[in-house]
Amino acid sequence: MEEEVKTIHDYLDIVKRRRWAIIVPACAIFFLAFVVTLVLPRIYQSTSTILIEEQDIPPEYVRTTVTGYAEQRLQSISQRVMSSQNLNRVIDRFHLYPELKKKLTGDEVIDIMRKDIRFAAISVDVVDRSRGGSPTPMTIAFTLSYEGRNPQTVQQVANILASLYLEENLKVRKERATEASKFLNDETVTLQEQLAQVDAKIARFKEKHVDELPELMNINIQTLDRVERDADMLKQQLRTAKERQGYLQSQLAGIPVDASSQDRILLKELKAKLVQLKSTYSDKHPDVKKMKTEIAELDRKVKAAPPNTLKEGQRFQPDDQPDNPAYVAYSAQLSSVQAEIATLQRQIADLERKRNDYYKRIEASPKVEEEYKLLMAERNNIQAKFDELMKKTMEARVAQGLEKEQMGERFTIIDPARLPEKPVKPNVPAILLIGLFLGAGAGVGTAALKEYNDRSVRDPKALTDLMRLPVLVTVPVIVTARDVLRQRILRKRVVTIAIAACVIFLILFHFFVMDLVILWARLTRRL
């Protein structure tokens, strides 16, 4: 038998015939959904919107010590606010979850409260010129919501949570600024101690090598040249003095010590000349007479000499006082020259000692310079670190004052939590729509199942196809007065059901439109 092809009239007949199989399951499931919306508890939600404001003073003038992205700080603050201690205080203050406290442990109740708290960040795309002008998402605000059964309690808890975020943000920023300032101060003190130790080491090194420092190298070289020039000049003067000494000694060797000895020598010479004159002239010659007169006068002078006068052939002793003026003059000059020679020798010896000392200084200067450079490099490194750390310390102190005056980045409540007027759970329109669709599907499925299991013959054609025999006559449906009354009652029921369905549809449409309006208002306010 070929498969029967059904037309639209066939389907309409099936709907008319199975109308109660469709209506009853649909109404039952829809009624069940309606009962569920009535039985489920009403959950209200209150939301606070908190703006993240930048610091009042530009970062170019005052750089804050609180680093990190806003998302990271918000997550850190959320973990602090959502701690068991804080949430437990809120639960005890507002007497939240009284039924659950009897059945669950404290940690489980706190976990449930964490699930009832909603945190959502509000980000916008900001064009950063330092990154090539590419838009970068940036968190500028966030919302904090709390869900519960009592609208007043929900509003109060949402406000308390928002205030906890504000307080925790200020507390965290002050703590970080204080810790950064304290750390930098401690490091500054440590570097000051290290710098003092290096300065003391450099002072001891300079005291030990006071004449061998590299900055005295040129002075030592110049002084050495001057000492060598002075030594050469003194040596030249010493040579000249020694020459004068030799000359005076040679002159002094040919001069008698006293005057009487000189007169005797002269007397002998005159007597010899007199003998020569007598061999030539007579005694009356004037020259002979003059010579005799001189000899007589010189003889009287020699005879009149002092008793301590050296005799002929006697050597001069040191204790004897010479009375020869020429001898005394040359002797004085010789003593002066000898004193000058001794002075020059002492000066030359002093200059040679100085020269050797300066040679040692110059030779030791490279080694001292190397050690001195190492000490100065160490000090310069510590000084550079100290200067940089002092700069950072001053910036940290300014940043600490900025946080104390609450002029840094801060949270501001721009939309405080309001008293919720409409529950967010359960979602009545959604539950009713789901019930309506499930009821319709259940009704259609029931009707289709009954129709599939029904083997009744509904028309002559189906009977002809089934029996392979022609149908001779058909008896029409006989409509009685009872059937007419039943149809009227059925029409009234259908009209009543249609009106109820329209009313329910209008109610659902109203809830749906209101939800769209509220959602649009929230999006508009956030943007």
Q: How many residues does the chain have?
A: 527
Select, from the ranges 1-15, 65-79, 134-148, 323-337, the one with the highest average predicted confidence (pLDDT). 134-148
Query: 3-state DSSP call for residue 448?
Result: helix
Residue 314: its pLDDT value, please?
43
Query: 3-state DSSP call for residue 473?
Result: coil
Residue 2, pLDDT above cutoff 60: no
User: Is residue 337 a contact partner of residue 245, using CB atoms and an 8 Å limit?
Assistant: yes
Residue 490: its pLDDT value, please?
77
Select, from the ranges 163-172, 210-219, 462-471, the one with the highest average predicted confidence (pLDDT). 163-172
Per-residue model confidence as pLDDT tens digits over 362-414: 777 778 778 878 888 888 898 888 888 888 777 767 666 656 655 656 778 88
Domain borders along the chain are 8-180+404-458, 215-380, 476-527
List, in sequence order, every residue forming a beta bridge with 47; answer none if it has no partner.
145
The backbone torsions φ and ψ at residue 40, rounded to the nearest 5 degrees and listed phi first, read -60, 140
The percentage of residues in the chain with a pLDDT greater than 70, rounded to a whole number, is 75
For residue 32, what are the CA distances in angstroms to 119, 177, 432?
A: 34, 60, 9
Residue 414: its pLDDT value, please?
84
Measure the CA–CA gap between 18 and 28, rounded to whole angstroms: 16
Per-residue model confidence as pLDDT tens digits over 271-296: 777 777 777 777 777 777 777 787 77
Residue 459: its pLDDT value, please?
67
Q: What 3 state SS string does 193-250 have? A: HHHHHHHHHHHHHHHHCCCCCHHHHHHHHHHHHHHHHHHHHHHHHHHHHHHHHHHHHH
Residue 313: its pLDDT value, please?
41
pLDDT confidence of 316, banded at 50, 70, 90? very low
Per-residue model confidence as pLDDT tens digits over 6-45: 667 666 777 777 777 778 888 888 788 878 877 788 888 8
Residue 308, pLDDT above cutoff 50: no
Going by the DSSP 8-state scheme, the letter that residue 57 receives in this structure is S
Q: Which of 212-221, 249-258, 312-321, 497-506 has the lowest mean pLDDT?
A: 312-321
Going by the DSSP 8-state scheme, the letter that residue 66 receives in this structure is -
